[in-house]
Amino acid sequence: MEKLKVGVVGCGLISKLRHIPAYKRLKDLDVMAVCDLNEELAKNTAKEFDIPNFYTDTSKMFDEEDLDIVDICVPPQIHAAIAIEAMESGAHVIMEKPMATKVSDCKEMIRVSKNNNVKLSVVHNDLFHSPFIKAKELVSNGEIGDFRGIKIFLSTPKHYMIDLKDHWYHKLPGGVIGETGPHISYMSLEFLDNIQNVDVFAKSFLNYSWAPYDDFRIEIEGENGFSSVALAYTTDYWAARVDIIGTKAMLQIDLNSMLIIKHDLSELSYVPIAKQTLSSLRQRLGNTISKTANVISGRQRIGTEIVVEKFAESILNGTPLPVTAEEGLETTRLMEMIVANYQEKYNLS
């Protein structure tokens, strides 16, 4: 069987860290070309990953290469334009989050994918990390009782984002929340139904002229519960934690160490608390041992790899997409609500 031919647009951080290595591990695909406006970067990336061709212009790449898949790893503001051009050239398209910065762009992308009979998907990577998948399974099996809400804490180190004065992050709708916000948006949408309200609270600790606020709390109200979010950009560390609250138990997920712990403390006294500590220790050890075993046996895979593989399978075998374009659109719709509330409350528009 002929392998699927992949072209990657954008040779920056995420492309080299996650996407190209993910394709390189799959046997039914070949990365045939990369494209970046920065010629040196495109050339060096092709060399580093042993990719036959490199380009600085997407139109030229789409004309000259007969690509089955175009993977888009460029800033969000230009996802739509490149995706549309790629789909019109006949390629299936997958792109980094967010699908686009505007719902109207997502709608146009969906229209073009249908007209050209090609698949369109978005990398909502956190949904495919093993503890997140396990949590969804526990919630849907009723193991936490009735669902009441989730709490998400994401911390992006200062030096990585907010300190970078001229970076495109600051030019997104909502600034830095436009960059990490899509993660909390798609995670919230996995659990909440019919979101009608959002409320954003913002503070500035750093007082940077290029980033008016740098610490955020966001309340998202769904028909079946809340998502309470903390987005921090002023720390020195990464954090990606999700608590899922139910009437009988709560789940704590750590997406950095890939751990999940179930808490079901029913009485407030020393013995159960000690038991609880032991139980969480046992769960931590269990998790760590199985994680270590997975790493040793080479089975521990992260979200982006799984999404890319499922996308390829959906083209080869007609299986469902890992993330549908409609899910990408809903994530952008929620981001639009969050950004509108933030800009209105803080007079930023």
Ligand X SMILES: NC(=O)c1ccc[n+]([C@@H]2O[C@H](COP(=O)([O-])OP(=O)(O)OC[C@H]3O[C@@H](n4cnc5c(N)ncnc54)[C@H](O)[C@@H]3O)[C@@H](O)[C@H]2O)c1
Contact footprint for ligand X (CB under 6 A)? 9-15, 35-38, 41, 58, 73-76, 78, 96-97, 123, 125, 179
In the complex with ligand X, the residue whose CB is nearer, 139 or 255, is 255
In the complex with ligand X, the residue whose CB is nearer, 9 or 84, is 9
| Crossing angle (nearest 10°) for helices 177-191 and 130-140 | 30
Token pair listed for 148: 């009441």
Phi first, then psi: give them for residue 261, nearest 5 degrees: -130, 140
Letter for the amino acid at 74? V
In the complex with ligand X, the residue whose CB is nearer, 39 or 326, is 39
Least distance (Å) between residue 256 CB and ligand X: 12
In the complex with ligand X, the residue whose CB is nearer, 150 or 308, is 308
Least distance (Å) between residue 48 CB and ligand X: 14
At 68 the three-state DSSP class reads coil
Least distance (Å) between residue 131 CB and ligand X: 16
Contact status, residue 87 vs residue 99, Cβ threshold 8 Å:
no
Cis, peptide link before residue 157, omega less than 30° from 0: no
d(CA 110, CA 114) in angstroms, rounded, equals 6
Least distance (Å) between residue 273 CB and ligand X: 36
* Residue with smallest beta-carbon separation from ligand X: 12
Contact status, residue 329 vs residue 189, Cβ threshold 8 Å:
no
Phi first, then psi: give them for residue 126, nearest 5 degrees: -60, -25
At 6 the three-state DSSP class reads strand
Least distance (Å) between residue 346 CB and ligand X: 23
In the complex with ligand X, the residue whose CB is nearer, 11 or 245, is 11
